[in-house]
A and B are shown apart, each in its own frame.
Chain A
Amino acid sequence: MPERALLAVEATETVGEPIVNISIFLAFVVVTLYITFRASRNNKTAADYYAAGRTITGSQNGLAIAGDYLSAASFLGIAGAIAVFGYDGFLYSIGFLVAWLVALLLVAELLRNTGKYTMADVLAFRMRQGPVRTAAAVSTLVVSLFYLLAQMAGAGGLVALLLGVSGRGAEAAVVIVIGGLMIVYVLVGGMRGTTWVQIIKASLLMVGALIMTVWVLGEFGFNLSSLFGQAADVSAAAETPRDVLGPGAQYGATALSQFDFVSLGLALVLGTAGLPHVLMRFYTVPTAKDARKSVVWAIWLIGVFYLFSLILGYGAGALVGADRILASPGAVNSAAPLLAFELGGTALLGIISAVAFATILAVVAGLTITASASFAHDIYASVIKKGVKHETSGVDEVKVARITAVVIGSVAIVLGILALQAGLNIAFLVALAFAIAASANLPTILYTLFWKNFTTQGAVWSIYGGLIVCVGLIIFSPVVSGVSEGPSISLFPDADFDFFPLRNPGIVSIPASFFFGWLGTKLSKERPNVEKYGELEVRSLTGVGAEKAIYH
Chain B
Amino acid sequence: MTEQAERLTLTPEQYVEAQNSPEFTELRRRFRRFAFPMTVVFLSWYLLYVLLSTYASDLMSTEVFGNVNLGIVLGLLQFVSTFLITTLYVRHANKNTDPIADKIRDELEGGQNA
A interface residues, Cβ below 8 angstroms from B: 45, 47, 87, 90-91, 94-95, 97-98, 100-102, 104-106, 223-226, 228-229, 232, 243, 245-248, 251-252, 258, 261-262, 265-266, 269, 289, 292, 296, 299-300, 303, 306-307, 389, 393, 531-532, 534-535, 537-539, 541-548, 550
Q: How far is the CA of A97 from the CA of B56 in the complex (A)?
A: 23
B interface residues, Cβ below 8 angstroms from A: 2-4, 6-10, 12, 15-16, 18-19, 24, 27-28, 31, 34-35, 38-39, 42-43, 46-47, 49-51, 53-55, 57-58, 60-61, 65-69, 71-72, 75-76, 78-79, 82-83, 85-86, 89-90, 93, 97-98, 101, 104-105, 108-109
| Contact status B104-A542, CB under 8 Å | yes
Q: How far is the CA of A398 from the CA of B50 in the complex (A)?
A: 44
| Contact status A226-B67, CB under 8 Å | yes
| Contact status A247-B54, CB under 8 Å | yes
Q: How far is the CA of A539 from the CA of B12 in the complex (A)?
A: 12
Nearest A residue to B43 by beta-carbon distance? A269
Q: Which of A87, A225, A538 has the most CB of B within 10 A?
A: A538
Given the complex, which residues of A lie within 8 Å of B10, measured CB to CB?
535, 544-545
Nearest B residue to A389 by beta-carbon distance? B4
| Contact status B78-A544, CB under 8 Å | no
Q: How far is the CA of A252 from the CA of B65 in the complex (A)?
A: 24
Nearest B residue to A304 by beta-carbon distance? B79
Q: How far is the CA of A299 from the CA of B78 in the complex (A)?
A: 13
| Contact status A228-B53, CB under 8 Å | no
Looking at the complex, which one of B16, B49, B58 makes contact with A531 (CB distance below 8 Å)? B16
Q: How far is the CA of A102 from the CA of B89 in the complex (A)?
A: 12
Given the complex, which residues of A lie within 8 Å of B15, measured CB to CB?
531, 534-535, 538-539
> How far apart are A302's CB and chain B's nearest CB, in angstroms?
9
Q: How far is the CA of A232 from the CA of B35 in the complex (A)?
A: 41
> How far apart are A536's CB and chain B's nearest CB, in angstroms?
9
Q: How far is the CA of A548 from the CA of B7 in the complex (A)?
A: 7
| Contact status B4-A94, CB under 8 Å | no
Given the complex, which residues of B lie within 8 Å of A106, measured CB to CB?
35, 39
Q: Which of B61, B67, B93 has the most CB of A within 10 A?
A: B67
| Contact status A542-B27, CB under 8 Å | yes
| Contact status A101-B42, CB under 8 Å | yes
> How far apart are A532's CB and chain B's nearest CB, in angstroms?
8
Nearest A residue to B55 by beta-carbon distance? A258
Q: How far is the CA of A246 from the CA of B79 in the complex (A)?
A: 19
Given the complex, which residues of B lie within 8 Å of A228, measured CB to CB?
66-68, 72
| Contact status B7-A547, CB under 8 Å | yes
| Contact status A548-B67, CB under 8 Å | no
Given the complex, which residues of B lie within 8 Å of A542, measured CB to CB?
18, 24, 27, 101, 104-105, 108
| Contact status B28-A101, CB under 8 Å | no
> How far apart are A403's CB and chain B's nearest CB, in angstroms?
22
Known: A94-B46, A550-B3. A541 touches B24 (CB 8 A): yes
Given the complex, which residues of B lie within 8 Å of A251, measured CB to CB?
54
| Contact status A101-B85, CB under 8 Å | yes
| Contact status B3-A548, CB under 8 Å | yes
> How far apart are B80's CB and chain A's nearest CB, in angstroms?
9
Known: A261-B53, A544-B105. A537 touches B28 (CB 8 A): yes
